[in-house]
Structures are given as C-alpha cells and as structure tokens.
Amino acid sequence: MVKVVNLSQKRKLSMTKSARAIALETLIRVFRDGSYSNISLNNNLRGSRLSQTDRNFATRLVYGTIQYKIYLKYQLKGLVKTKLKEPYLKPLLLMSVYQIIFLDKVPNRATLNEANKLAKQFGGRHSSGFRIANGVLHALIRRGAILPDKTDSVKYLSVKASVPEWLVNYIITNWGEKRAASILSSINTPAKNSVRLSTLSDQKQTIAELKKLNFAPQDSKLASNELILSHGGVSTTPPFKEGKLTIQDEAASLVVEAFDFSGDEKVLDACSAPGGKTTQIAEYLPHGQVTALDIHEKKLRLVRQNANRMHVANRVVTKAMDARKVDQYFSGQQFAKILVDAPCSGLGLLRRKPEIRYTKSMKDLLNLQKIQLDILDHVSKILEENGELIYSTCTFAVEEDEKVVEIFLKNHPKFELRPFKLAKIESKTGMLKILPDSYGSDGFFIAKFVVRG
C-alpha cells in the first residue's frame, strides 16, 4: 500500500530536518545541479525550525565544504575503494571530512553518528552508503590529513588552498610563488563584517548605536566612512533599517571616492545593481542626479529599495538597459561622471563566494574582457569634456584589469589615466589594484580616465 503524505505533513517533515540534513541537501544541489549555494541554502533554511545556532552551523558546513572541496576530495585519496554512485554519498563524505579536520569543537564520534543517520535517511533501506561512509571516515581518522609533496608547488598549493591548478599557476605567474601563497591563504580566511556609514547621517551617533548593540565597531584601515564589525547580523538592526549604514566591502567603497564631485553633476552608473555604489554616489549629489542602469529590471528594484532605505531616492533614476547601448538611448546627452563597475569573473570575491574558484576558467577572463571593452567604448561617447570615467572590477585578473585599460587607451587616444588620492590610500598611476591579502578585503581594481585636454 502506498503511503500518502499531504502537503502539511511534507511541510512538517521539512521543518524537522537537522542542520546537517539541510546542509547535505544544499550541497547535493550545488554539486549535482550547479545551484547557487546562497540561494539553495536560504531556500532550505526558510522552511526549517532550526535555532540560530543550528542555522549558523548549517551555513558553516555548506560554505566550508564548498570552500575546501579540492582539499577534502584529496583526503579521500586511497580511502574510497568503490565508485560512489548514489548522489548524496560524495557530498556526505566531503561534509563529514570537513567536520573531522576543521571543526575541533565537533567530536569525531558525533560526526560519525550523524553521517550514519544521514546515509540511512538519504540512501534508503537498500543503500550501501551507510557501510561505505562508516568505513571511509574511520579510516580517515586513523590515517589523518595529507597533502601533496611540496616539491610540486602548484599541486601542493592547489590542494592546500583548495584552488584549481590553473588559477594557482596564474597567480604564481603574475605575482610569484611567495605572494601566491599569501594570496591563496588569505582567500580562505573569513570575510570581514564591513559596513559603510552614510555621509547623510550623524556618524558618531550611529557608531554609538553599534557599540550599544555589541558590534564593537572599528575604523577601516583602508577606506573612510567604513567600519569593521565584530560579527554579522547588522541588517536586522535599526541603524541599517533606518539607512544610517549599508553593508559594503572596504575596497568596493573606494571606487566612488575616486571621483571628484562638486555636488550638482549628472552621473551615470552603467552597471548599478544592487545599488551600493549608486547610493554612495547619490550621497555626494545634493543638487545632482545619478542615472542607474542594469540590463534586468528585476535587479533595478534592489537599486530603488536601497536608494529609498538610504534616503537618496530623489537623486536616483533607474533605467533597464544594456550598457552597450547607452550612446543610442542617451544620444546628444552628456554625463559629467560615469562609473563602469563592470561585469567580471569575481575572482576578488573568492573569500565570500567560494564556488567561483571552481566555475571560472582562463577562457572566461578573455570573454569578459570583450564585454568590458565594449561597455567602455559605448559609455565613453557620452562623457562630457573634462568629465571623469571610473572603471572598476571585483577581480584581480590582469586580463580584466590592466589589459582592459591598455586596450581602451590604445583605441581611445583622447583619454588618459588620472592619478587619484583617497582618504587613506592613493594611486600615482591612475590605477589601483588591491589584492585579497593586501588589507584582508575583497580583491578590487580601479582605473580613472579623463578626456585628454
């Protein structure tokens, strides 16, 4: 007889899943289906009754397992004696290995017991997963963690940092082996909880509120108006909801600082969503306006929401448009300032988005370069004389950064780089590259162009 489970029963079952079960379900979708980890995890957590502690644990399991996937797979070397046919089994093993090696406060006994329960839950009555998981994990505990021989530096760093060999080679080629080891080590450290204070609010009062809420704010060593908080969760607090601050990485906030505003300009943010830099620009325009573009109308809703929350909605207009068509739509119109925060590989965000390291290739860098140059070509046609054009990316790839600048200047001889000085850092060349290990921030690139006089 077939057992019928109604929708309310299904909902109740989903709500009783453990933190590990939710983490495993998420990892199966990420590894098998290529799902985005944040979306899949949030969907799974939304229907659960987990405590905040358990939600944090599930989150750590998901992101930790993805972040160290190459390293964790290497730990299974010589221990798996059969093909892992069932889709849940490999994610289960990787997640369990992560707990054994990286989570000192979780007893191995608990990891083994929970792995056995999950194998029965996800594998069913006739699954061999229980026996395989049990044998592999016991063998790992007896043997301990392993790494390749250091004589093969690329292989060694690839496994140790859990970064594909092509990317390790790329970083060594551009910055040398010693700096590569530092960069690769830095991307596996936790991202800072950084926020940007609104310049329209009473910043001293906001800092006092954050102290009272036990966020222990500290000044950024890289950017002005930026604070480093001791922990996350600021988005649920009154200062955030009231638009006194927004969540923004230190390096990302430097982009807007590179402009020299007078306050009454017409500014174009050519690739604006989700609107962090749009609202930052708008704060400098009491008598001006920023036009925010994005190819997707749905993403522009986020821009408008951010503008409303940060009290600059009257300074922002949005338009759904491909930035490569701006010179057609704005024909005859000129902007005093243009920001191209270009679509890129995101290699500077490896600390925050660990799966990027497994999905990008050298081919992607070259394909993105074409898009970046195309956008710059079109927006440059609507920049007024003596105007400023800022190009930025959240990647450290030379092909998307310095090479784009080189090609753009070659194709647009009227433009030149302009040195810029920020509150805590300066660029004497007109280009600024921040690597992930420089300040413990996201990796970022900024170039400032002006029309040659």
**Rounded CA separation 372/368 (Å):** 6
Note the pLDDT of residue 6: 42
pLDDT of 451 > 50? The answer is yes
pLDDT of 112 > 70? The answer is yes
**Residues 90 and 84: beta-carbon distance below 8 Å:** yes
Give CA separation, 270 vs 61, 277, 290, 375, in Å: 37, 11, 10, 8
**Residues 364 and 408: beta-carbon distance below 8 Å:** no
pLDDT of 14 > 50? The answer is no
Note the pLDDT of residue 44: 92
Domains of the chain: 7-143 (1.10.940.10), 153-186 (no CATH), 251-451 (3.40.50.150)
pLDDT of 453 > 70? The answer is no
- Mean residue pLDDT of the chain comes to 93
Note the pLDDT of residue 219: 97
How confident is the model over 411-421, as a mean pLDDT?
97
How confident is the model over 336-344, as a mean pLDDT?
98
The position carrying tokens 């001791």 is: 230
pLDDT of 10 > 70? The answer is no
Out of 254, 290, 307, 394, which one is annotated catalytic? Answer: 394
Q: Which of 44-48, 64-68, 126-130, 299-303 shows the lowest mean pLDDT across its residues?
A: 126-130
Instruction: Quickly state the pLDDT bin for 128 (edges 50, 70, 90).
Output: confident
Note the pLDDT of residue 231: 92
How confident is the model over 47-61, as a mean pLDDT?
91
**Is 271 designated active site?**
no
Instruction: Quickly state the pLDDT bin for 3 (edges 50, 70, 90).
Output: very low
Note the pLDDT of residue 17: 86
**Rounded CA separation 378/322 (Å):** 10
Note the pLDDT of residue 47: 79
pLDDT of 5 > 70? The answer is no
Note the pLDDT of residue 83: 86
Q: What is the pLDDT of residues 314-332, one digit of tens each?
A: 999 999 999 999 999 998 8
